[in-house]
Amino acid sequence: MKIINILFCLFFILLNSCNSDNNDAFNKNNNQEVKSIKKRDLSETEKPKSPEELLKKKLNDDQKKQLDWLKETLGNEKFDKFLENDESKIKSALDHIKTELDKCTGEHADQQKSTFKEVVKAALENNNIDNVNQATCNNQF
């Protein structure tokens, strides 16, 4: 009878130790799952994008280049007002700016581009985007 009791005790001790190992493994897996959930939660909270970033996603490379040129030309306040315009008008204005800057060639290209920059700035003085499409590299507005 003593031997049977000892065997039962050994069996339960063995069983208990096996079970505790599984709990440790389970807890490790559970902790990894919790950590991965936390990582997912952090990635879901993105910063809200600025209107400029949202617009740039919809532009081609040339338009992005002209948008950067326009931002430099106008400064932050006027540029932010410019971004409030309709997307199709903005794209049209950027295409027009590219076309006109491509026309600024020859000996006085830098001077023409500088003058065109001032003309565009003046055209957008009242935030009327339609005026940009009338500005030309030849100083006419």
Q: Which of 126, 122, 34 is nearest to 140 (CA)?
A: 122
pLDDT given for residue 137 in this prediction: 75
pLDDT given at position 28: 57
Predicted pLDDT of residue 68 = 92
pTM over cut 0.85: no
Q: Where are the domains of the chain?
A: 1-46, 51-134
Reading the block at residue 43, the tokens are 């990635």
Tens-level pLDDT at each residue, the chain (141 residues) = 788 888 888 887 877 776 554 555 555 555 565 555 555 555 555 666 788 888 888 889 988 999 898 889 888 888 888 888 888 888 998 898 889 888 888 888 888 888 888 888 888 887 788 888 888 877 544
pLDDT recorded at residue 30: 57
